[in-house]
Structure 1
Amino acid sequence: MFALLLLAPLLYAVPGCNDFVIAANSKDTFVPFSITEEGRYDAVRFVSVFDNSFGTKHKEFLVVAKNIAGAPLSEGTIFLPITNLYSASLFDYAAKQENNTVAYFCDGVQADTWTIDFLPSFSIATNETISGKFVKVTSPKQYAFAFDYNKGVSSSFYVLAAPAAGRNAGTVFFETGPGTFEQAEMRGVVYIACCANKCEDADRRCSSKVVTTEDFCTGATTLMDYGCIDDVCLPKKTECAFGCEINGCLPGQPYCNDSDKGAFIFVKGYAEGVDDTYKRFNETDVCVGDYKLREYDCVGHNLSANDLDCFYGCYDGACRRPPEPTAFAPGSVESTPTPVPEKRTAEDDAGLQIAGAIALLAIVLALGYADFAGKKNKK
């Protein structure tokens, strides 16, 4: 434990930049919030080290977890109190928020809006399951809150709102993966989103205005490897093929194996091996968009990732193949048929002869009548 503390990186607070926000259990707190309304409540208290972080004269906010006496309020009600310097649980006045958000100010200018969700029944799985009341704090900024100097950076964190599983209210948890949590050792978080940042990663050391840290071993073969992402030093757990020592992987024989032998976009493949820094990798091709494939392959002994376009779409780690063209066998193409006269039968011929005779008789009669009518008129 002592060695781990020696290796812990420096996370420093800069006025107007990094802010340490304490999460605390505030039991039986007296809160007057109008001329006629006041009450006593168990609450979770969030306190900034800077003045006016949450507005003029507001360096903290309260989230109600339980009614004790006085005006009853819904769990999760938020107050922005003006602190009474003589008592940590007594306030001169508190403004009740009309919604579940709190504005955050960087150097007097609103730069962020935190969403405060009260979770009356929630479970967190660490090395054990902790169930109870929690407060979830979320920023729209992807990298807003840092935990325990070197544990990670996230857009949200969770705070226990009432004692549970032997832990006090105010205990902080952060999510390390989907559905996976870790309890923070510190009773609070570092808000880093006010910082105009610059990041450099070299010689097993990551440096930025927010965090300066060296890579370090967390086990016999596991390296906490820091790198720059969006100008923030962020950790990634890396497996060392030949063991981990101090702040790097031990040397050995590197190699890289690409299952589909290059950028073959129509087959889902993987690349695995040990790179030139002796870190083990194993990555599978994946769709990163409806028409975009991330293809992993080898460049020497090292892993390479390329984002490639899929003209017909991407599905399950591979580009969809183009449709097969329709094939026609010789002579199979249909053409417009030539009309063929129907063959007449003997009955058809007899009918035609009778019809012709009737037509001829009609003509003779017509001519005879015309001649008769002409001679009659001459008389």
Structure 2
Amino acid sequence: QHTDGSNRQQSFRLEVLRNMKYLKATGRTKPVIAPVNKEVIRVGEAYRKLTFLQGATVFGLEPIVVLVLAVVIYFFTEIRGANVLEILFLLFVFRTAAINLVATQPAYRKFISATGSMKVYRELRSNIDAHREPDTSTKQTPEFDDGFEMKDVTYTYPGQAAPSVSHVSFSVPARSTVAFVGPSGSGKSTTANMLASLLIPSSGEIAVGGRPYSEINIAQFREKVGYVTQESVVFNAPLTDNILLWRDNTDPERLAEVIAKTGLDAVQSAKSRDQNLGADGTALSGGERQRLSIARELYWESELLILDEATSSVDSLLEKQIDEIISGQRGTKTIVVIAHRLSTVRNADIIYVFDEGRIVESGSFDDLVNAGGLFSKMAKLQSF
């Protein structure tokens, strides 16, 4: 029981760590951590029982040995009249000393190992404390009706000399669909991560509803953010838990509607309700994992939906199906699409073209194709 529980706990912790970017961006860390806490309590109880049994076995044996020795000594000295008390006593002392001496070396190794682990733990804890986010619970509730705006934003990753994003300014109207395109390493994902409040700009300002991020409740903001990447976030849990993320305030009718809308009803019917999807969703196909990620965001009705290369690893047929699902959300929320495959951004209201950390072009798909710039060159290299 202890071993099985520890294995489940360790596997789930690894899944949480692998998907921490998504959980942090969407403010869904707490409900996902709840099952971990329950498992910790259950494993702790099993460990307590195991420790008690081990202690009873080890320390319960010693009084028995002492009692046997006492009986033997009594027998030989009082009944048999033999003068062996001193010999037995010396043997007993020698035996005890020898056992303790032998145990010294492994105990010392454990001590050294624990000391090294504590050093690593203290360094990690110090690093975490140094980068702890400030409490924004008393700040203003974010409003999404007026869209987003970046004003002269620059971001430089720690340890790098050149900025990844340099003096970027743009606006995202509320409930519009905006696309970021450009070569790899041009700053698209970094900009999206700042928009999702995962990264804090080195300089400049980001605002939602006309209010800077520094003045809003970030936890409430993240609860309204949806994030879908090419690496799907799937836990080794049933389909419904993967969509609901273990929250209690659920709507069964809405859940069924979302599952049907994203084509996951076939998955649900093929598996029992409580059947796990495997580590990282190995029981699902790549397309099913992507549809699951989208279903999760549709259920929670995010105000800002970021799609970072969400269809780059699927075939053209599945890409079209996912695009149709996303198109059905146009006008209901603000959507930011990051893509190399330009066919996925054809219907975007505004396209921002990134190159070397800057926005070099912006406009509609047709306008940019006809402009003869970087976007036009990229479009000529791809077939639609």
Q: TM-score, normalised by structure 2?
A: 0.22
> As a proportion of its length, which structure holds more strand?
1
Structure showing greater radius of gyration is: 1
Structure scoring higher RCO (CA < 8 A, sep ≥ 6) equals 2
> As a proportion of its length, which structure holds more helix?
2
